[in-house]
A and B are shown apart, each in its own frame.
Chain A
């Protein structure tokens, strides 16, 4: 992987100047490379990973969606409809016993349940849904939740 991506993936706030210093390139070079990565769609967005358990109350659910694919366009048309709902955080087409995995967020259980029964399950091509409410997050995007960092090393050693 590109070293700039490695750095930004660790900390998206790292400035081009800092990246330049870390990698021995010029800030202009780094800025140009980042612009290129953004243009190509390699870097899509700079965001924060938030532990919502601590920030506010939000409920997430994983929903298995079974779909009848349509002639000529397969799953894409229905997927396009699903992902436009702002409640949908993530959607993947998968192999296996169901077709599309959708991760939905709402303020509470009721909100998510309503979304599933009124919006998702009622789509023409959707033949079935199974909803799994998320109980606890251990790790997301490489970040381990609920972990306190503590120095265990001696403060000075040879």
Chain B
């Protein structure tokens, strides 16, 4: 038989996270700090609205763009929270998670051979999707010294004649890094100078613990260049509902909608109905979750530093990204050893790019009690 698998599918290595997952599975009594989703279940009022929508028989396709009612809520929400105006008819596309929105954004802007800059360490899907679209992902390493922020100098250096787009992700997975308005403005200057499109994945923005999050598209001149991606998975603890959305110019939105129309048709209506409820009445519960994450963050960061694993205080998301080089272990060795000896799962930093070497990602989307036990076990591991 001839090779059934395409070279494009083969070009991308399997995810490092997947491999780690295989190791953990079947191990009893593991405390996992390796989870990239909230430990909270979706607030009950949202689940209840979801059930009600099913009782009412909302089980059909929606408009390709998503329910107008949801797009209107998103538009109002962005107006209220960020003073940004996006037209529910033409500038908002509801997708099956930010995952799909990102893929659509890439395929809508990337021509074969175009380069797309991705700062690393970062989310595992960014580079593969560029490859799948026939583009060339270009990684730019960020460092702990810079607080894992993308610097204009590093960006400038990576830009070539073929560079079409920049992927930004702040608050960042896996480092928890955030960028200030001023720092983002410096990036925006480079973006204008080189006429780039920015795909800004801001799915963690509501989980911001210091200062105020500024959407990239709210910066001067950035709205028409930015595809802003946001979703319900993280802030509302709605990962399984699979709802995200993009905010972009009518031209880009139309292109993304076309790809979406022929591949996904529409996002699941059950998730969309739930998302409407989340936007209308979700603030109180989100605020309570954010306060709890912040407390856990303070606990884990203090303890990691006390243990001699230097860790900057992350400004957002729910990840701590400590430096483990003092143990003389690689990220992979540290994670494997910790799992085998102390049954605590963390994710090696290298799963998020080469520049993640020397670090591990610890998710504090973990109940406080478990977090404390896990930290005790980490202490035992590094002192053994």
Contacts and interface: CB of A to CB of B under 8 A. Distances in A.
A158 B125 contact: yes
A144 to B, nearest CB: 11
Contacts of B37: 153, 157
B34 interface: yes
Interface in B15-41: 15, 17, 20-21, 24-25, 30, 32, 34-37, 39
A84 to B, nearest CB: 38
B36 A155 contact: no
Interface in A115-158: 153-158
B68 interface: no
Interface in B316-362: 345, 347, 351
B35 A21 contact: no
Nearest to A153: B35
B290 to A, nearest CB: 12
Given A156-B345, A156-B347, A158-B125, A3 B24 contact: no
Interface string B84-122: 000000000000000000000000000000000000000
Given A6-B291, A22-B298, A23-B295, A153 B34 contact: no
B123 interface: yes
A7 to B, nearest CB: 7
A29 interface: no
B128 to A, nearest CB: 11
Contacts of B30: 155
B299 A155 contact: no
A24 interface: yes
Contacts of A23: 295, 298
A22 B303 CA distance: 11
A155 B344 CA distance: 10
Interface residues of B, number: 28
A76 interface: no
A155 B298 contact: no
Contact of A155 (B15, B21, B124): B21
B302 interface: yes
Contacts of A158: 15, 17, 36, 123-125, 173, 351
Contacts of A3: 291
A85 to B, nearest CB: 37
B295 A157 contact: no
A156 B124 CA distance: 13
Interface string A1-33: 001001100010000001001111000000000
A150 to B, nearest CB: 11
A21 B294 CA distance: 11
A129 to B, nearest CB: 36
A158 B39 CA distance: 14
Contact of A154 (B15, B21, B39, B347): B21
B295 A155 contact: no
Contact of B295 (A22, A153, A154): A22
A3 B288 CA distance: 10
B302 A21 contact: yes
Contacts of A24: 298
A36 B368 CA distance: 26
A155 B291 contact: no
B34 A18 contact: no
Contacts of A156: 17, 20-21, 24, 32, 34-35, 345, 347
A23 B299 CA distance: 9
Contacts of A18: 299
Nearest to B34: A156
B21 A157 contact: yes
Contacts of B24: 155-156
Interface string B3-22: 00000000000010100110
A69 to B, nearest CB: 38
A157 B298 contact: no
A21 B291 CA distance: 13
A155 B17 contact: no
Interface in B286-304: 291, 295-296, 298-299, 302-303
Given A18-B299, A22-B295, A158-B125, 20 more contacts: A3-B291, A21-B298, A21-B299, A22-B299, A23-B295, A24-B298, A153-B32, A153-B35, A153-B39, A155-B21, A155-B25, A155-B32, A155-B35, A156-B32, A156-B34, A157-B17, A157-B21, A158-B15, A158-B17, A158-B124
9 pairs of A and B residues whose beta carbons are closest in the complex: A22-B295, A156-B34, A156-B21, A155-B32, A157-B36, A155-B24, A158-B124, A158-B36, A158-B17
16 contacts: A7-B295, A18-B299, A21-B299, A22-B296, A153-B35, A153-B39, A154-B35, A155-B25, A155-B30, A155-B34, A155-B345, A156-B32, A156-B35, A156-B347, A157-B34, A157-B37
